[in-house]
Amino acid sequence: MAKILIADDSPTAAALLQRMLAPLGHTILLVSDGEEAVRRIQHEHPDLVILDIIMPKMNGFQLCRTIRSDPELKDLPIIVVTSMDRESDRYWGLKQGADEYLVKPVDASVLQDKVRHYLQSVV
């Protein structure tokens, strides 16, 4: 099975995302800020990252840029799940390197479909 890292500073939101993905059977890693996400990505080598934009220490836009600037991580799939719902937010998230930009509250079936799509070569 695949390994998915969820970076969200809200324990409630992170737990909800974890519950949504539980039926897929993957290993879920939870972190609460962008800096911790970078450390865990380098140490755990997840197959996919789901991140919020508004986080302490390093926000989701910065985290996307950090991942994309690392030659070893540049192809790591990134799904943004955030409450920032303006079209300019979506544009900026995709411009920073996100593969998908979903707005909270996200539908579980939509999130599961996106995760399956990006992990089809892993599982």
Q: Which domain range does residue 113 map to?
A: 3-119
Question: What integer pLDDT is reported at residue 18 of this predicted model?
Answer: 97
Residues 106, 16 contacting (CB under 8 angstroms) = no
Q: Retrieve residue 109's tokens.
A: 């079936």
What is the per-residue pLDDT for 46? Answer: 98
Structure pTM?
0.95
| pLDDT, position 123 | 60
Rounded to an integer, what distance in angstroms lies between the CA atom of residue 123 and that of residue 120?
6
Q: Are 5 and 40 in contact (CB under 8 A)?
A: yes
Q: How many H-runs (helices) and E-runs (strands) does the chain carry?
A: 5, 5
Contacts of residue 15, Cβ cutoff 8 Å, sequence gap at least 6: none
One digit per residue, the tens of pLDDT, for the chain of length 123 reads 899 999 999 999 999 999 999 999 999 999 999 999 999 999 999 999 999 999 999 999 999 999 999 999 999 999 999 999 999 999 999 999 999 999 999 999 999 999 999 999 776
End-to-end CA distance of the chain: 6
Sign of CA dihedral 100, 110, 123, 39: positive
Number of domains present in the structure of the chain: 1
| CATH, residue 105 | 3.40.50.2300
Q: Are 54 and 82 in contact (CB under 8 A)?
A: yes
Q: What is the pLDDT of residue 121?
A: 77
Nearest-angstrom CA–CA distance, 80 and 90: 9
pLDDT value for 12:
97
